Amino acid sequence: MSFVQYGDTIKDGDTAIVFLGHESMFPVKVQHGTVTQTKYGVIRHSTDLIGKKFGSKVTCSKGGWVFVLHPTPELWTMNLPHRTQILYSTDISIITMMLELKPGSIVCESGTGSGSLSHALIRTVAPTGHLYTVEFHQQRAEKAREEFQEHGVEHLVTVTNQDVCKNGFGVSDIADAVFLDIPSPWEAIGHAKSALKAEGGRICSFSPCIEQVQRTCLALEEYGFTEVNTLEILPRVYNVRTISLQIPDLGKAAETDFDCSNPSNQSSPCTNLQQGTVQFKSGVPVREMVGHTGYLTFATKS
């Protein structure tokens, strides 16, 4: 396995995702002789994982079981060790499309942070593209390098430990796209412009506060970027539930005029007279949703 290529069976050294149930999973590094504890008991890597197919059900020592999944950037985003605040897949999706990324694209990114976006970028630009990512925090930069190596993508990424606002991306006239997720992106717009190819390219900046967006937009205009556009994307997740509502007693006779369509159609609402209820399927929004991650400002160098 690698993060840029599917494999069928689990091998020594792979990263796998142990799926315990709804929204409950964690990554493991598969190693001969190692064991992993779960609430369903122990998983022995040598016998329970190595040689098994990704997607298999693995029975743990207490008789409970889990699924073992092939890693993807999306699963990694949900399970990675946080060293910073991270970008989630909803934002990552629109960033990838609006930056027009595809195999072969050269991308510059700063900061690397926990590498959530980095993995998704690498996935998209492989096998012929490259990611130049800049992180001013030395430990984070080193940790990111280690992870890229473990995940078999080190040939697709260069991690540089420097301050992007002072020293830029370390490359010039090479990038098709630039992404900024730093506290003062307006200070890096000039560097972004010189990192982009002379023929042009796309830029995106992520900022939580509107004041940051204001300054970024002014800087973008100052440096001659066009098509400046700020947007926000909000994910809404629904739980699928069968709901039953009670029919009010209005003192009427047993037969109700509350006729609910064809009973042979399972998905349509149906009445249960004995219980005095009507049932239907509904997509219920989760109780608490993400209201704001950040504003995404896109622009074109032409």
Partner 1 sequence: AMEEQRGPRIREGDCAVLKRDDVFKAVPVLRRRKIIFEKQWFYLDNAIGHIYGTTFEVTSGGNLQPKREVEEMTTETKEAGTDNRNIVDDGKSQRLTHDDIKALKDKGIKGQEIVQQLIENSTTFRDKTEFAQDKYIKKKKKKYEAVITIVKPSTRILSTMYYAREPGKINHLRYDTLAQMLTLGNIRAGNKMIVMETCAGLVLGAVMERMGGYGSIIQMYPGGGPVRAATSCFGFPKLFFDNLYEFPLSKVDSLLSGTFSAETLPSEPENNMVAEEESNRLSDKKQTSLQETEEESAAEVATENNQTEEQEAMDVNAEDVEFKENKGKENKENVREKQRKQWERRKKLIETAALLQEKNADGVIVASKFHPTPLLLTLLEFVAPSRPFVVYCQYKEPLLECYAKLRERGGVINLKLSETWLRNYQVLPDRSHPKLTMSGGGGYLLSGITVVLDKGKADSSNLEALKLEEPSLKRCKVQELHC
Single residue of 31, 46, 61, 72 touching partner 1 by CB under 8 A: 72
Q: Are 7 and 69 spatial neighbours (Cβ–Cβ below 8 Å)?
A: no
56 is in an annotated binding site: no
Is position 154 annotated in a ligand binding site? Answer: no
Taking the least distance from each CB to partner 1, the nearer of 35 and 97 is 97
For helices 116-125 and 138-150, the axis angle rounded to 10 degrees is 40
Separation between Cα atoms, residue 234 and residue 93, nearest integer Å: 12
Residue 225 buriedness (CB in 10 A; 0-12 / 13-18 / 19+): buried
Q: Which of residues 146-185 bind partner 1 (CB under 8 A)?
A: none
Contact call for residues 111 and 81 (beta carbons, < 8 A): no
**Is 5 near partner 1 (CB under 8 A)?**
yes
Interface with partner 1 in residues 101-140 (CB under 8 A): 102-104, 120, 123-124, 126-128
| Residue 98 touches partner 1, criterion: CB under 8 A | yes
Q: Nearest CA to 28 among 63, 75, 62?
A: 75
Site string for partner 1, 205-234 (x = CB under 8 A): -----x--xx--xx---------xxxxxxx
Q: Which residue from 53, 62, 166, 252 is in contact with partner 1, where contact means CB under 8 A?
A: 53
Chain positions 8 to 47 lying near partner 1, rule: CB under 8 A, are: 8, 19-22
| HSE-CB of 110 using CA atoms within 13 angstroms | 29
Please indicate if the annotation marks 114 as binding a ligand.
yes
Output the known binding site for S-adenosyl-L-methionine.
Answer: 114-117, 135, 163, 181
